Structure formats: structure tokens, C-alpha cells
């Protein structure tokens, strides 16, 4: 109650019948960088996030930072500004969206061996990576019959939405991708061919490693969607889009559509899988 206000008058004031929902800012981010001592970076970052009421997950490793965080626009801006001050993070890649309710239950700022786990210690996206393709140029690349298109995500993500003609490796974790490619390489690329390989993932981080991996395996023409599916859905109008379905995200929003609006999928409380509107869970029924 304002200082000096009459408590009786204040109590008698009518309350609004409806308050519009307060939109929360969502920031999906990553940056490969050289962190000599990630543990020293964790405490100040955690303290700032807690002070700003941020929830979500941030991962720190010697190879950089990755995560998705949610909070007020001002709080998210303060955290992003802090991260941009970290070594090599001035060009931090951030994709913004919104949520009407908090999609995370708590805040986690964790130290990891890798910010995205592939299990190939010699792969360094800072040393070698595929060619970035802007969202507005992506349709032409994947429509070329000479291009092999690979969905770099896990099977349960692909089931929610993907690009037409994309190969599904049917992996359960990103760690399985190198073994899948080595096993399927001859079938995919054939003998004596030098095809173009285009890969995509949710926000772009997995493709940083997978394209570096393919180049290390001797594949020269490797491309990946810059900013991932999220940037594509943000930048490419639905009328011009080749995307089919929705994009699975790892929070309570479950999946996003064009314009990064919340999609129609819900979360199965039994197995954690995505469930299309009006359907039974395809995993556990």
C-alpha cells in the first residue's frame, strides 16, 4: 500500500477483473570458447542469475557455454550482458522467444566435460566447422537433389517435426551420432561421390560438432543451418517454409511453431515424451 494512503479507501478500491498474462523472456544460447577455468566463472554467473530471478539451465565447460534461461526481459538482458563479457563470448549466439508461464522449475548452472556431449575429444568446432547457411538460403540447399539432408536430433525430437526428405539417424542421444555415421557412411555417400551434406538441429550447437566431425572424417562439402530450426522458424514466414510439424524444445512448452509461438504438443507426465493434441503418448500409450 502506498505511504500515506487511507487503508479504508485503499481496501475499498475495486480490483481489476482480469490481469493480462505477463510474458517471460526465454533465451536459448551457446558459444564455443576457451575457458581455462570454468569453475571460476560459475559462481558469479550463478549469483547473478539468482539475483535476477532466472530459471533454466546453463552448462559451463572448457569448450564454452550452452543453455536455456527464462526470466524478466531485464533479468535476461543482465545475464546475457554478463555472458558476453566472458572470454571469447562477445559474439554469443542467442535466440529469443517468450513464455506465458515459467517453463522451468529451478535454476541449474553446472560444470560439464562438454557443453553438448558427443564423446569425440579430438573434435574442436573452433578449429574446423561446416559452412553456415542462413535460414533464407536453406530451402534452396535442401531442395537440391544432390544434397543429403541429415536431421542431427534424436528420434523423439524428429517425431515432432522435421524437414521433408531429411534422414533420421534414429539416435537416442547425440553421443550415438558418430557411430551411426561411420556405420552408414558408405550407404549415404557411396563410392567415388562427393555429395553435399546439409545438417540441422534445434539451435545449432549440435551441428557445430557434427559438421566438424564429418570434416574430420574427410567429408568436404558440409553445411549446417545457422541458428538451427529455431532461427529458421523465427526468420522464415510460414508461407515460404518447408518445415513440417513443430520443433521439440527441452522445457514445459514442449514444442514451438513458426514465429516461435508455443505449439499444440503437450508433455507426457509418465515418460516425458511429446504428445500431439488429442492423441495418446506414442511411447507409453
> Which residues belong to the active site?
201
Taking the C-alpha atoms of residue 206 and residue 182, their distance in angstroms, rounded to an integer, is 17
For the cut 60, the answer to whether the pLDDT of residue 234 exceeds it is yes
Please give the grid coordinates belonging to residue 38. 570454468
Q: Give 24-111's CATH code, choosing from 3.90.190.20, 3.40.350.10, 3.30.70.100, 3.40.50.720.
A: 3.30.70.100
> Residue 148: its pLDDT value, please?
95
> Residue 282: its pLDDT value, please?
74
Q: What is the pLDDT of residues 98-110, one digit of tens each?
A: 999 999 999 999 9
- Could you say which architecture CATH assigns to the domain 131-275? 3-Layer(aba) Sandwich (3.40)
Q: 3-state secondary structure string, the chain?
A: CCCCCCHHHHHHCCCCCCCCCCCEEEEEEEEECCCCCHHHHHHHHHHHHHHCCCEEEEEEECCEEEEEEEECHHHHHHHHHHHHCCCCCCCCEEEEEEECCCCCCCEEEEECCCCCCCCCCCCCCCCCCCEEECHHHHHHHHHCCCEEEEECCCHHHHCCEECCCCECCCCCCHHHHHHHHHHHHHHHHCCCCCCEEEEECCCCHHHHHHHHHHHHCCCCCEEEECCHHHHHHHHCCHHHCCCEECEECCCCCCEECHHHCECCCEECCCCCCEECCCCCCCCCC
Domain limits of the chain?
24-111, 131-275
List phi, psi (to 5°) of 64.
Answer: 140, -150
Global confidence as pTM = 0.86
Opening angle at CA 282, ends 281 and 284, nearest 5: 65
Taking the C-alpha atoms of residue 86 and residue 204, their distance in angstroms, rounded to an integer, is 20
Average pLDDT, integer, range 214-227: 95
Half-sphere exposure of 259 (CA within 13 A, CB side): 6
pLDDT band at 192 (very low <50, low <70, confident <90, very high): low
Average pLDDT, integer, range 261-276: 82
With beta carbons less than 8 A apart as the criterion, state whether 260 and 99 touch. no
Q: What is the pLDDT of residues 194-217, one digit of tens each?
A: 789 999 999 999 999 999 999 999
Residues in the chain: 285
Q: Do β-strands 255-256 and 247-248 pair in parallel, antiparallel, or remain unpaired?
A: antiparallel
Amino acid at each position: 500500500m502506498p505511504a500515506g494512503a487511507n487503508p479504508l479507501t485503499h481496501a475499498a478500491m475495486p480490483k481489476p477483473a482480469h490481469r493480462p498474462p505477463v510474458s517471460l523472456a526465454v533465451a536459448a544460447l551457446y558459444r564455443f570458447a576457451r575457458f581455462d577455468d570454468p569453475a571460476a566463472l560459475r559462481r558469479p554467473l550463478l549469483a547473478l542469475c539468482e539475483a535476477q530471478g532466472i530459471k533454466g539451465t546453463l552448462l559451463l565447460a572448457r569448450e564454452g557455454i550452452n543453455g536455456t534461461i527464462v526470466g524478466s526481459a531485464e533479468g535476461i538482458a543482465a545475464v546475457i550482458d554478463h555472458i558476453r563479457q566472458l572470454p571469447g563470448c562477445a559474439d554469443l549466439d542467442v535466440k529469443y522467444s517468450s513464455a506465458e508461464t515459467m517453463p522451468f522449475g529451478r535454476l541449474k548452472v553446472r560444470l560439464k566435460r562438454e557443453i553438448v556431449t558427443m564423446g569425440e575429444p579430438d573434435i574442436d568446432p573452433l578449429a574446423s566447422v561446416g559452412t553456415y547457411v542462413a535460414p533464407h538460403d536453406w530451402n534452396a540447399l535442401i531442395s537440391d537433389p544432390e544434397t543429403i539432408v541429415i536431421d542431427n536430433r534424436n528420434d523423439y525430437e524428429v517425431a515432432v517435426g522435421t524437414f521433408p526428405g531429411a534422414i533420421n539417424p534414429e539416435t537416442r542421444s547425440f553421443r550415438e551420432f558418430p557411430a551411426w555415421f561411420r556405420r552408414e557412411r558408405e550407404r549415404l555417400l557411396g563410392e567415388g561421390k562427393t555429395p553435399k551434406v546439409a545438417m540441422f538441429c534445434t539451435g545449432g550447437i549440435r551441428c557445430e560438432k557434427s559438421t566438424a566431425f564429418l570434416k574430420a572424417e574427410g567429408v568436404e562439402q558440409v553445411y549446417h543451418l545457422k541458428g538451427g530450426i529455431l532461427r529458421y522458424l523465427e526468420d522464415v514466414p510460414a508461407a515460404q517454409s518447408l518445415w513440417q510439424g513443430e520443433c521439440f524444445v527441452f522445457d514445459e512448452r514442449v514444442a514451438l511453431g513458426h514465429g516461435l509461438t508455443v505449439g499444440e504438443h503437450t508433455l507426457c507426465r509418465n515418460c516425458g515424451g511429446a504428445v500431439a493434441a488429442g492423441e495418446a503418448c506414442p511411447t507409453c500409450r
